[in-house]
Amino acid sequence: MKLLKLCWLPVLLMAMFLCGCSQSNEDEVRKAKRFEELKGLPLDTVLTRAYKFYEQFQATGDTLLRDSMDDYRGHFFARWELTSDSLCGTVAPDDSLAMELREIYNVVLEFDAKRKYRYVLDEEEREKREDDLWNDSARREKVSKMMDAYFKALVENPDSMRVVEEKERAERERADSIYAVKIRAIPLDEALNRLEEDSSSIYNYAYFVQTLEVLYVDTAVADMKELDKIDRHRIKRNTWKEMKSACLGRTSMGQKVLILNKEYESLLNNFMRANVHESRSERYTILPVKYPFWYPMISVVPHHSGDDFHFESFPAMGGALFNKNHDMVILSVEESFNSGSYYYLAKKNGKWELIMHKDGWVA
């Protein structure tokens, strides 16, 4: 009897495996059939229907309505995936600059993940320092007097204050460099594992949205010090050239990458303006998940001005200043909807590496 049971066990396991495969195949056939049924609909209609079901689900809690929302929303993203594949195919595989921009972007993404993790680690210590400061009246008074003296000197002798400001800037840059080294030393897996615990982290969305277009300028300077002296805001608009980066493929977290072109950006902005109605104060209220309809597919946040929205994932590449040998670059990077930083990279032994990170603008 025991031998008989042992003989039947492999048969049972094989039957279970075949049953599972059969179910999986049926699911794929059903998905393909549903895709064919919906592919004739305009994309704005698909999104509008999904949103109507979303609103009804929010009002009633009926899970059938949620399933209908997922059906239409899932179809929208399936078609966006196909479009993204086509757009990625427009970048020639032998385009060396496009490949370099992708490599640079991967370095930026890795540093950004580590930087966000470092911020989490520092937060408790930072909060403790602030609490200590405001609980210490003597220290609080000292800080207040220092600020008063600073502004008084600025009014009375602007030239001398410029020297002080230059010195402070140099000290900040030195501190930034030390901090960047500290961040780079963090193991990427450790950073990603911690960020995975934050449901609002960009790395926890199903898709990472990439824009392929990057503006860049080739300069005549040789080294990073000279490159850093260039005021990018004084560069004439027609000097900037537009280039496509190669597609990322997948992120370190295994996310699929969608490509945001002008057509999809226009479609999505029109959809949001037609369906999402909020006051100015509501629009600029920061929430972990700003627009739940899109969660967990993509992150959407409002522009810091105007009525448009950001559909690209942060960090997003902006303008790039290259030196004459194309082995150094200063890249402006949007890190959130209203702020960004400058990433200094150099090619060493044929590989792009981050050498410095500077806090940039706040819109």
- Residue at a domain's end among 87, 116, 144: 87
Q: Which helix (H) or strand (E) holds 271?
A: helix 262-275
Q: How far apart, in Å, do the first and last CA atoms of the chain sit?
A: 77
Query: Taking the mean position of all CA atoms in its chain, how far away is CA 220?
Result: 31
Q: Per the domain annotation, does 195 fall within a domain?
A: no
Same domain? For 209 and 334 the reply is: yes
Structure token digits, residue 251: 């992120």
pLDDT tens digits for the chain (363 residues)?
A: 544 454 565 655 565 555 555 666 777 888 889 899 999 999 999 999 999 999 999 999 999 999 999 999 999 999 999 999 999 999 999 999 999 999 999 999 999 999 999 888 888 677 666 666 556 677 677 777 777 777 777 676 766 666 666 766 667 667 777 778 889 899 999 998 888 888 778 888 999 999 999 999 999 999 999 999 999 888 998 999 999 999 998 888 889 999 999 999 999 999 999 999 888 888 888 888 899 999 999 999 998 888 899 999 999 999 999 999 999 999 999 998 888 999 999 999 999 999 999 887 654
Same domain? For 44 and 104 the reply is: no
Q: What are phi and psi of 90, to 5 degrees?
A: -80, -10
Per-residue pLDDT at 342: 94
Q: Per the domain annotation, does 153 fall within a domain?
A: no
b/e sequence 11-37, b meaning 16+ C-beta within 10 Å = eeeeeeeeeeeeeeeeeeeeeeeeeee
Task: Count other Cβ atoms within 10 Å, centred on residue 136.
Answer: 12
Same domain? For 215 and 263 the reply is: yes
Q: Per the domain annotation, does 176 fall within a domain?
A: no
Q: Per the domain annotation, does 209 fall within a domain?
A: yes
- Residue at a domain's end among 87, 119, 137: 87
Per-residue pLDDT at 14: 62
Q: Per the domain annotation, does 273 fall within a domain?
A: yes
Same domain? For 353 and 292 the reply is: yes
Same domain? For 77 and 207 the reply is: no
Same domain? For 62 and 102 the reply is: no
Per-residue pLDDT at 131: 61
Domain count, the chain: 2
Same domain? For 76 and 216 the reply is: no
Q: Per the domain annotation, does 191 fall within a domain?
A: no
Per-residue pLDDT at 3: 47
Q: Per the domain annotation, does 7 fall within a domain?
A: no
Per-residue pLDDT at 196: 85
Predicted TM-score (pTM) of the model is 0.81
Same domain? For 103 and 72 the reply is: no
- Residue 71 structural domain: 14-87
Same domain? For 60 and 81 the reply is: yes
Per-residue pLDDT at 22: 61
Q: Per the domain annotation, does 251 fall within a domain?
A: yes
Same domain? For 39 and 104 the reply is: no
**Angstrom distance (rounded) from CA 100 to CA 116:** 24
Whether 44 contacts 274, CB under 8 Å = no
Same domain? For 214 and 342 the reply is: yes
Same domain? For 27 and 104 the reply is: no
